[in-house]
Amino acid sequence: MPHWPDDDVILYDGVCIFCSRWVGFVLARDTARRFRFTPIQSDYGTRLAKTFGIDPDDPDTNAVVHGGVAWLKSDAALTVLSHLPGWSWIRTLFAVPKPLRDAVYSLIARNRYKIFGKYETCFVPDADMRARVLE
Every domain of the chain and the residues it spans: 9-127
Partnered with residue 11 across adjacent β-strands are 38, 63
| C-alpha–C-alpha distance, residues 37 and 2, integer Å | 19
pLDDT of 3 reads 59
Where residue 69 falls among pLDDT bands split at 50, 70, 90? confident
pLDDT at 5: 67
Other Cβ atoms within 10 Å of 25 Cβ, number: 13
Give pTM, 2 decimals.
0.87
103 — phi, psi (to 5°)?
Answer: -65, -45
Name the percent of the chain lying above pLDDT 70. Answer: 90
What pLDDT, on the 0 to 100 scale, is given for residue 10?
A: 94
Of residues 79, 86, 75, the one with CA closest to residue 35: 79
Other CB atoms within 10 A of residue 119 CB: 14
**What's the mean per-residue pLDDT of the chain?**
88
Q: For the chain, how long is the longest CA-to-CA vector?
A: 39
